[in-house]
Each structure stands twice: as structure tokens, then as C-alpha cells.
Structure 1
């Protein structure tokens, strides 16, 4: 597998707008002490066990231990909350299982996704090496089952990609079903709706006012008393009628 630059470890969790935000950056492997700078299933469980809000996991990882990755996958699949995973850098190897475990997977612009066959180190005689080979084949079948469930891709296609150590762009990851969408900049729709409502309200008020004024100007008021014409007014009217 091509050498990938090591990703600095980061694991933070916070609450934003009623959602649990868990940021994960680094390699996936079992942690043996509290200060161990790795991502494993126990770290995820400690952060999310008591969470009932929606969850967003921001992920940047080269992957690592396949067994830890699969344990995290199943933990996320069985969690009661709605879980979204956002890839913020790379999701490779075992990190792709975390993506697959989400209810929704989002690729940020410029991010990448990589899948490959399981790998291991082996030493010993033919029998010992054969045991390792058999184990790798079983693990590959497990990985393919995860990808098939997520993507709907045919097994033969997944096997080909895994043998190639296939890298996908964000667009390709969405195209082939590994992710659901590419993240776009969020616009403040609520403010847009408020402004539109304000404009509509102002226009309606102006139209009502205009209609009221038009109605008043077209209404002929009937006087309660008809004023009597003065002799001067009668004389003038008579002259006008006679054409004088």
C-alpha cells in the first residue's frame, strides 16, 4: 500500500445546536492507556454511550486495525441516535467502516476515500503462512459484506477495487455509493424565510392601505341636509339656463 502521511491525533466532542459533534483524527487501533493517541471502539463508546441527540462525526483517518474498525462500524449501526459522518480529509482502510456505519455519509470537497484488501505480517513454515492466508480471506469477505450493504455494488467489482487499493475522489465516493453526498456551504435559510415573510407582509399592508384610500375617494357622501339656494344663486342659474 502506498505510504500515507501520518495524521495528527485529535478527539474532541461538544454540543452544537442540539447535536453531538465528535471530531476524530488519527489512526485506528486499540488503545492501551488513556493518553494513547489512537482511535478505537472504547473511545467512541465513552463519547457516545449516553447520547440521545443527533450525532455528527467529523472524520480524518488513514485507517488501521480492521477489527477495531469493524467493532466501531457495528456500534454505530446499533446506536439509537441518527448518525452522520463527515469526511474532512481522508477516509482510508479501516476508517471507511466508520463511514459505512453512519446513517448518512458526507464527503467534504477535496476529500478522498480508499479501500483495499486486508493485510498482515506473517512468519513461520508453510502451515503457519497458510493460516494467515486463510484468515485474510475471511476478513476480506467481512469487509466486502460491509461495502455491499452500504453501496449495493456487486461483489466482483468490490474485489477488483480492493485488489487495486482503489482511491476515490469525493465525487466518485458518492457516485459508487460509499458516501451519500458532497457537503455544500450551508445558507441561513431561516433568515431568508423571515426576510421574505417581512417583504410579503409589508406589500400586503401597502395594498390594503391603497385599497382603503381608493374606496374612500370613490364614495359619494350624502349630506344630511340640502342647503337652500340663495336668490343670487337662483338668479345666476336661471341666466345660465336661458343662455344669457
Structure 2
């Protein structure tokens, strides 16, 4: 145990591994600015994408002079990223978790036997890929801890949280630090919900220091579940009334909120004010679009009615002209020049106008 002075960190990696605050490109950028120099990295993350973690592991290893320090609660991909560091330290109050890799899976629909076989083949292929990834990561842990790969794979299967002292005993970290003002991490409802949704075990630790009278129903559920973790290597439900949060897929709502799923607890989903504002804005925009489209449809209907009435009137005039008898003459005029001065009938004028209009139309390029 060492009592350290405050360290200046060149990198703060927090949040989701693969997100904007735990990004491989940004790590490469910072390391390139400190080429040949010692780099101190602070990590506080519940994990994320394995591919990003492996990229950062490689970047730390290539740089060669990286010191990682863990604070808070760190799991899965965050621990993998640290393995490329030269030296790893950890707050004495922090926690550490390794577990087997997982992949998102959702399948719903009507299937025949061929469809089911294709699904089974795909699942078996994904399982084989996960087994290879687990074996690779277990070897990385084993190399760091100087222990057998099989022992690390067994620890990953259990998936339980380690205290800082246990992480040191396993060999995941090289040294524990102890600061006078160091506070032990606490578990909030939000953090526990996010961990459960990501398939990360919930640790046995204080939940915001709430008294039994002030605890919410969700906090009580967490206490019961964490008791189960402390008594068994594998999590089991304490009684039939304990309900795990479920991930619900509401395609339209999730598209509005730009999320993959919503967390349902006891058949209820909680949304914050910003999410409700997003849904309200989307509904208002859709209503306005519908009103605009209805107005356009009504305009087109009116134009169609006007054209129909005009066409009906024109057809009636044509029919009237067709029914009129031809004009009679008392004598035949053979002089063509005189014929030009003869007054024409309405029918002749009408058909002559149509002929002239057709000629003009045909002459257009």
C-alpha cells in the first residue's frame, strides 16, 4: 500500500469504452504528442466494446511507458485496455470485474424448419467466435497475472466483482494507493440500471447510503440481489418476487430518443424530461406534416373538381354544335375570291379555330 501525491494525468478515460470519452483515436493522438515520455492514464469505466479495448491495449504496449490508475468501478473492456500498460495502480476503495464476452442477440418472427436451422447455425458461429475471444482475453489476463490461463477463464465464467485487495492478489494491478480524502464508490439506481442492462453483475456495496425507510423499491431490489451475489458464486433469484429489469424494444420511440432499447422495471419505463420533450416535439412535427399533407390533398381535389366542371361544359358545347343543322345557300358561288367574303357559320368558325390551334401545336419544336 502506497500513499501517493496527486498525479497529473495526460489521459482521462471514462464512460463507455468506444464512446467519445474512451476513444482509441484520441488515445493514439495523446500518445503521439508524448512520444518517448512517461504517460499517466486515469481509468474509470464499466466497459464497452472489446475491439476498442484491444486497440488501446496495443497502443499502450507500443508506447511502452504508460502508467494506468484505476478509480471507482471498472469492468470488462476497461480492464482489457489497461493490460498494455507498464505499471497499473488502483485506489484501495475501487473495484474490478472480469467476465466472459457477450454479444447482443434479438430474434423475433415466424420461422419454418429451414429458418430455424439457419438461426441455429448463425448462433453456433457466434458462440465459436465468442469462445475464441474469451480464450484470447483469458491468455492476456494470465500473462499479466502470471497465472494459468484456465484459472483466469474460470474467473471470467464466475463474473464476480473483486475488491482492490483481491485484484492485487490476482495480479491484475501492481500497487494500491491510499489517499486521505479517498471515498469508497457508491451505487446509484441509474448506475445499477445501466449495469443490469449491459449484463454486468451488480456488486455488493452501499447504495447511496440510504436508510431502510428512505430506500426506493428499486434500491431494495438491488440490496436483495447483491446479497445473493455475496452468498454464491453464481447469481440466483432469492424469491419469485424478485424481477430483473427487461430491455424493451419500441422501434419508433427508440428512433426518436436515438437509443437501442428502454429499460422496463416491474412493467414500467421511466423517461426523463428531455426524453419526453423529444417525444412531444416529434409528435408535434408529425401532426404538422399530416396537416400540411391534408391541405395539399384538399387543394388537389379542388383543382380536379374545377377541371372536371370545365371539361363537362366544353363537352356540352361540342355536343350542341354537332346537333346544329348545316346552313343552306340559294346559289353556288364559283368565284374563290368572293367565297372569302362569305360569312361563316358558328360551326365552321369553331372547327377552323381547332384546326388552326392544332397546326400551331404541330409547328412547335
- Name the residue aligned to 2:68: 85
Aligned counterpart for 1:175 among listed residues 148, 169, 173: 169
Distance, in Å, in 2 between the alignment partners of 1:42 and 1:111 is: 27
Decide whether the 8 Å contact of 1:73 with 1:101 is kept in 2: yes
Distance, in Å, in 2 between the alignment partners of 1:97 and 1:144 is: 10
Aligned counterpart for 2:23 among listed residues 18, 23, 40: 40
Give the superposition deviation at 1:146: 0.9
- Name the residue aligned to 1:75: 59
Decide whether the 8 Å contact of 2:17 with 2:23 is kept in 1: yes
Decide whether the 8 Å contact of 2:145 with 2:172 is kept in 1: yes
Distance, in Å, in 1 between the alignment partners of 2:69 and 2:78 is: 12
Decide whether the 8 Å contact of 2:13 with 2:21 is kept in 1: no
- Name the residue aligned to 2:153: 159
Change over 3 Å in CA distance of 1:184–1:38 after alignment to 2? closer
Decide whether the 8 Å contact of 2:135 with 2:153 is kept in 1: no
- Name the residue aligned to 2:302: none
CA displacement, residues 1-60 of structure 1 (integer Å, 9 cap, x when unaligned): xxxxxxxxxxxxxxx98x65211211102x5xxxxx341211211121121321110110
Give the superposition deviation at 1:162: 0.6
Decide whether the 8 Å contact of 1:23 with 1:57 is kept in 2: yes
- Name the residue aligned to 1:145: 139
Distance, in Å, in 2 between the alignment partners of 1:182 and 1:49 is: 28
Instruction: Within 5 Å, give how 1:78-157 maps onto structure 2.
Output: 78-80=62-64, 82-122=65-105, 123=107, 125-157=119-151
CA displacement, residues 63-120 of structure 1 (integer Å, 9 cap, x when unaligned): 110111011101101114x211010112210000122111111011210000000100
Gaps of at least 5 residues in structure 1 are 1-15, 32-36, 187-244
Distance, in Å, in 1 between the alignment partners of 2:147 and 2:160 is: 14
Runs of 4+ in 1 over 6 A off after TM superposition: none
Task: Give the TM-score, by structure 2 length.
Answer: 0.42
Distance, in Å, in 1 between the alignment partners of 2:17 and 2:104 is: 17
Higher relative contact order (CA 8 A, sep 6+): 1
Distance, in Å, in 2 between the alignment partners of 1:183 and 1:69 is: 24
Task: Give the TM-score, by structure 1 length.
Answer: 0.62
Decide whether the 8 Å contact of 2:93 with 2:164 is kept in 1: yes
Instruction: Within 5 Å, give how 1:178-193 maps onto structure 2.
Output: 178-185=172-179
Distance, in Å, in 2 between the alignment partners of 1:25 and 1:148 is: 25
CA displacement, residues 202-237 of structure 1 (integer Å, 9 cap, x when unaligned): xxxxxxxxxxxxxxxxxxxxxxxxxxxxxxxxxxxx
Structure (1 or 2) with the larger CA radius of gyration: 2
Which structure shows the bigger proportion of residues in strand conformation?
Answer: 1
SS at match of 1:57: strand
Give the superposition deviation at 1:177: 0.2
Decide whether the 8 Å contact of 2:46 with 2:74 is kept in 1: yes
Distance, in Å, in 1 between the alignment partners of 2:147 and 2:75 is: 18
Which structure shows the bigger proportion of residues in helix conformation?
Answer: 2
Give the superposition deviation at 1:185: 4.5
Decide whether the 8 Å contact of 2:9 with 2:42 is kept in 1: no
Instruction: Within 5 Å, give how 1:229-244 maps onto structure 2.
Output: none
SS at match of 2:10: strand
Distance, in Å, in 2 between the alignment partners of 1:112 and 1:69 is: 18
